[in-house]
C-alpha cells in the first residue's frame, strides 16, 4: 500500500473501514436522475464545511466508471490496504473514491486529520440500494428543474420518506411554469419549507468537470446553505403523503 502523505492514520486502521458503523451525522447526497450534478453538490458541501477550519472527509460511492471526483483532488495519496479505495487531498478535504467496480464491502477509515463533517456522494442509486447500509440516511437530493427531473425527484423522495432532506436544484431559482405545475406533494412541501436550494449552473464547470481548482463562488455559497440546512436535523415535511413503500 502507498502511504498517504499528510495523513496520520495508521495502516492497520486504514484497512478496517467498516460498512456497518453508525452513519449518524453524515451528510449524504444522491442524484434523482442521471446527470443531475450530485458530485458537484457533494464537493460544494464539503468545501463549504471545510471553511470552518476542520478537516472534512468526502466519500464518493459511485463506481470508478462514473466517478465525478477523479480530478477533484490536488494531490493523490494512494490506495488503502486492499486497494478498494483511492485517497486524495483537496485543501482541508480528504477525498476517498472507489478504486474498483466491486460492491462496497466497507467504508474507508476516516483520516485522523478530519474532525469535521463526513460527506458521501451516493451518485445515482437506481439498482444499487443493496450496496448501502440499511441505516444510511440521504439528506440532500440533487435534480434539474425540468418536468422529467421533478418527476424522478418526487419518486426518489418517496423512497426516502421520513428522512432529513433538502433538495439541491441545479439552475435558476425561477422555475418555468410547466415545472411548478407538475410538482408532486413531497417536492412542493420541501420547496414551501425553504428546503430547496438553487445551485447556479456554471458553464465553465460544465465544460471541464470537477478539478482541483476552487469551485465558483456562487456554487460554493450554495454548498454553505446546504451545510446549514443539513445541520438542522429537520425531517422531510409531510403533507398528505402516501406511506413509504419498499425500496429494494
Calpha distance 226→48 (Å, rounded): 9
- Is the pLDDT at 104 greater than 80? The verdict is yes
Burial pattern 204-224, b for ≥16 Cβ within 10 A else e, equals ebeeeebeeeebbeebbebbb
Determine the Cα angle at 168 with ends 153 and 223, to 5°.
Answer: 160
What are the tens digits of pLDDT across the range 30-60? Answer: 999 999 999 999 999 999 999 888 889 999 9
- Is the pLDDT at 180 greater than 90? The verdict is yes
CA atoms within 13 A on the CB side of 167: 31
**pLDDT of res. 129:** 57
- Per-residue pLDDT band for 105 (boundaries 50, 70, 90) equals confident
Say which CATH topology domain 24-231 has. Answer: Rossmann fold (3.40.50)
Domain boundaries, the chain: 24-231
Determine the Cα angle at 217 with ends 71 and 4, to 5°.
Answer: 35
Residue 14 φ then ψ, to 5°: -65, -25
- Per-residue pLDDT band for 71 (boundaries 50, 70, 90) equals very high
For the chain, the C-alpha Rg in angstroms (whole number) is: 17
Specify which residues 76 forms β-bridges with: 88
- Is the pLDDT at 247 greater than 60? The verdict is no
- Read off the pTM: 0.83
Calpha distance 28→123 (Å, rounded): 10
Nearest one of 210, 19, 53, 38 to 119, comparing CA atoms: 38
Determine the Cα angle at 120 with ends 239 and 196, to 5°.
Answer: 35
**pLDDT of res. 227:** 92
Mean pLDDT over all residues of the chain?
82
% of the chain residues with pLDDT over 90: 57
**pLDDT of res. 168:** 97
Greater pLDDT, 135 or 216: 216
- Is the pLDDT at 241 greater than 70? The verdict is no
CA distances from 231 to 29, 43, 128, 227 (A): 14, 17, 26, 6
The answer to whether 237 touches 189, Cβ cutoff 8 Å, is yes
Between 23-37, 78-92, 186-200, 208-222, the lowest mean confidence (pLDDT) is in: 23-37
Amino acid at each position: 500500500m502507498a502511504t498517504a502523505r499528510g495523513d496520520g492514520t495508521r495502516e492497520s486502521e486504514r484497512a478496517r473501514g467498516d460498512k456497518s458503523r453508525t452513519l449518524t451525522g453524515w451528510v449524504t447526497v444522491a442524484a434523482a436522475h442521471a446527470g443531475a450534478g450530485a458530485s458537484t453538490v457533494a464537493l460544494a458541501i464539503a468545501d463549504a464545511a471545510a471553511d470552518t477550519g476542520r478537516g472534512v472527509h468526502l466519500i464518493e460511492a459511485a463506481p470508478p466508471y462514473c466517478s465525478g471526483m477523479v480530478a477533484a483532488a490536488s494531490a493523490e495519496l494512494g490506495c488503502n490496504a486492499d486497494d478498494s479505495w483511492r485517497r486524495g487531498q483537496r485543501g482541508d478535504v480528504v477525498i476517498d473514491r472507489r478504486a474498483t467496480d466491486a460492491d462496497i464491502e466497507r467504508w474507508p477509515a476516516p483520516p485522523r486529520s478530519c474532525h469535521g463533517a463526513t460527506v458521501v456522494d451516493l451518485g445515482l442509486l437506481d439498482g444499487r440500494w443493496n450496496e448501502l447500509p440499511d441505516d444510511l440516511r440521504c439528506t440532500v437530493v440533487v435534480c434539474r428543474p425540468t418536468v422529467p427531473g421533478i418527476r424522478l425527484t418526487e419518486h426518489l423522495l418517496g423512497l426516502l420518506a421520513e428522512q432529513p432532506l433538502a433538495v439541491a436544484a441545479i439552475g435558476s431559482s425561477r422555475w418555468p411554469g410547466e415545472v411548478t405545475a407538475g410538482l408532486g406533494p413531497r417536492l412542493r412541501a420541501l420547496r414551501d419549507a425553504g428546503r430547496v436550494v438553487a445551485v447556479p449552473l456554471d458553464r465553465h464547470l460544465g465544460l471541464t468537470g470537477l478539478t482541483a481548482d476552487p469551485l465558483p463562488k456562487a456554487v460554493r455559497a450554495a454548498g454553505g446553505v446546504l451545510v446549514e440546512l443539513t445541520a438542522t436535523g429537520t425531517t422531510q415535511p409531510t403533507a398528505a403523503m402516501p406511506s413509504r413503500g419498499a425500496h429494494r
